Structure 1
Amino acid sequence: MSSSPVSIPKTSASDLTTPVFADVLAAAERLKGHAIRTPLLENMALNERTGGRILIKPEVLQRTGSFKFRGAYNAISSLPADAKKRGVIAYSSGNHAQGVAAAAQICGIPARIVMPSDAPAIKVQNTKGYGAEVIPYDRFGENREEIAARICAEYGSYLIAPYDDRRIIAGQGTCGLEIAEQAEALGALPEEVLTCCGGGGLTAGIALALQNRLPDTALTLVEPAGFDDTGRSLGSGSREANDPAARSICDALLSPMPGNLTFQINKSLVTQGVAVSDDEVMDAMAFAFRWLKLVVEPGGAVTLAAVLSGKVATHGRTLAIVLSGGNVDWPRLQEALERA
């Protein structure tokens, strides 16, 4: 895989600056009428299993089946007119791809998405269904940033980064804003919020929201074993990379290392990071299907895996967990159910 530096065109440098809470509030206004305000649910079977009170934020019910639509629409809808005319490009294993494709379709602009050839078929099909052109690549032998750079140069497209973008982070932060508002309405303020973490955009956005709305609430990020780069980075104080030989079924969370913007936020606002195994993830997917009546993809189930496996203390406590996505191919879900 090439490691040569890549320069990808941007319309302006504003998207590379660190977002603040005001950006999250602006994103919430922009998303009204477009993103779904997903509920905050509670399940007795989960509470009994964990000995605590677990509030579930099911972003599997979000438009395109994951939280990624929030950031994608916030970024694309706020582009200047000249950038919209040239269209957008993104690289993604699937959920960001679908979010960008759907947001671009709503805004009436073309989208091209660089996706790994081993991405779940449902994610590729859905991305194409939203009208985007899909450019496949080998995630273990090619560099997606270089491919995107060539397309940017050819078409003058605007890159919608998967996580290291001010507007992406702010859009994802609306999920945390809703958790705070909904928990307050329930009279059940969580002691801890758990979120999945790949590049760190959702974590960073939720961190900004909690810092301002639930400042006494801890924030724990959950990663797949072998891809615990942000957790390790929190310990060392600098961005750590994953072993290129590492593998996981959590295709949505396989970023090579934390983002620059996201880590600047997460290193000061995240309480801890924990890692869960593929087996624990599979068990969580089966539990969600059987007891929560929700279809959750591997990367979206890591927070549930953390509470079910005891990686995070739950007894006598109130926690909120984000189930971040539900775009899973049937064979993978069937495998999880058969294991259970």
Structure 2
Amino acid sequence: MHSSLRRLTQAAIATLILATGSAHAADAQLLAAARTAEPSVIQSLKEMVSIESGSANAAGLAQMATYTEGRLATLGARTERIAVTKGPGIMVKGTLTGTGKRRIMLIAHMDTVYPANTLATQPIKQDGNRLYGPGIADDKGGIAVILHALAILQAAPELGRNALIELAYQLQQTRDVAKSVPGTQLNWTTAQAGEVRNQIPERATAIGDVRATVKGGPETLQAALQKKVDEGKLVPDTQTTVTMETGRPPFVANARGRELAHRAQAIYAELDGRQLALAEGTGGATDAGFAGRSGKAVVVESFGLAGFGYHARDEYIEIDSIVPRLYLLTRILQEIGRS
């Protein structure tokens, strides 16, 4: 049943915001992935050209639609078939949903101008840098590029500028910064990046709880955090920004507040000599910070009931503190009124 004169801290929220930027030079990793994919693109071309899908070839067009739909589904696309308005065949639509604001449509056609059995006289063949086949350029080459470009973007996480990876790095870099800023404390508590498993997150955000016992502490800490993240990055072409949202101001009892607290101790002692402890600080935040911000008021914090587990699942008060605390507050109000 101890009361406390608490030195409460200013509450604030620090936020790290990561965003990716674009590079002006060629992306070496992406270029390497494209080179690695070349053999599989050639294989896809051979598979598609082997399906004779002339504009009037209903069976071939149906086979080509099944092939394309299967490849899109493998990439995680939601597929649907759309009837054409003229002639045989079907349109295949694949939709991939991400977190960006842009909508991009990639189009290629599955039919060719070649009649059935053209492969018998114009087989697929490679001659140096040339790969021959009916419909290979118009437009099965377009389909192959679409399929494999999407595969590169989805199947190779290291190719994206991963904001989550950079965020994790910056959280490590900044976790002890508050130790160098007197009167401040920082704990990173929440983070968010991306919305789907198969897409590199281009933005990531972390939020931390800041406590300060000195005026201007959050602002000084924000500057120190920004300086730290500007010193280096793990993922190229990313940018980290620190913002600070100020909550309750700090509360530190002044001399007049301490004098009133000592008077409260004397009043408490009237009750069978019981003790009233004065705590220098708790690490919590309090509305008393607003009351004492001007420096004119005499402010003492924690006249409430004794208890424990604040903000926790098993928060409680001690019933036998009700009478003493009522007595204390009533008596001290009387004394203040008479002075």
Which TM bucket (shorter chain)? under 0.3
Compute the TM-score of the two structures, normalised by the length of structure 1: 0.21
Compute the TM-score of the two structures, normalised by the length of structure 2: 0.21
- Richer in helix (by share): 1
RCO greater where, 1 or 2, for CA within 8 Å and sep 6 or more? 2
- Richer in strand (by share): 2
